[in-house]
A and B are shown apart, each in its own frame.
Chain A
Amino acid sequence: GENVEQHPSTLSVQEGDSAVIKCTYSDSASNYFPWYKQELGKRPQLIIDIRSNVGEKKDQRIAVTLNKTAKHFSLHITETQPEDSAVYFCAAINNAGNMLTFGGGTRLMVKP
């Protein structure tokens, strides 16, 4: 089955700096890669996703890049703000096209 590895597990940045979180996946047939933000005690919230037919997608301060050959994808947050502090999860859809396989999460701390 699919295996998703995520790093770093924790990331501390100064407000205004950029943050990058990286994930690798094992199943070359995976074709959909969402990113979720989860604040303490709250639901995972979809912040951006990318499909395998594109290499990059941007939404304001957030961007995701996908390298299908290397089987890795990354989340980039620019001009970080304290409210960006949360746990971020990457995920991949398996080749059967239903369940999400999640990475282990990255705790992002943005210091004011």
Chain B
Amino acid sequence: GAGVSQSPRYKVAKRGQDVALRCDPISGHVSLFWYQQALGQGPEFLTYFQNEAQLDKSGLPSDRFFAERPEGSVSTLKIQRTQQEDSAVYLCASSLAMNSNQPQHFGDGTRLSIL
């Protein structure tokens, strides 16, 4: 496909369960970003990869959040022992180059609901 692909589109989990969210970036894109978007708000940065290296994870809200991109392409965001405040849309974005000023292209996101 031509765009960033995320799965699943919707995820419902009970509090305390672990979840895994997947992102397939645009082919050849070096940089990959995860953002969290609460209802009615702008996306907020979680973490950033350049190829397989996680260069910035300053936005991850707690040590329950973990992200990886082992082969420099697909990325997974894992949330352990989910809590109700984790409910949000999780957006993935990718960009072509390593340097700044490059457009970030977003996927449709995963809407996570914690019951």
Contacts and interface: CB of A to CB of B under 8 A. Distances in A.
Interface of A: 6, 31-32, 34, 36, 42-46, 49, 51, 89, 91, 93, 96-105
Chain A binding surface, main DSSP class = strand
Given A43-B91, A91-B42, A93-B100, 12 more contacts: A32-B100, A43-B109, A45-B106, A49-B103, A89-B43, A98-B48, A98-B100, A99-B45, A100-B93, A100-B104, A102-B43, A104-B42
Contact of B104 (A42, A46, A96, A104): A46
Given A96-B56, A99-B45, A34 B104 contact: yes
B33 A99 contact: yes
A46 B103 contact: yes
A100 B95 CA distance: 12
Interface residues of B, number: 26
Contacts of B107: 43
A46 B105 contact: yes
A103 B42 CA distance: 6
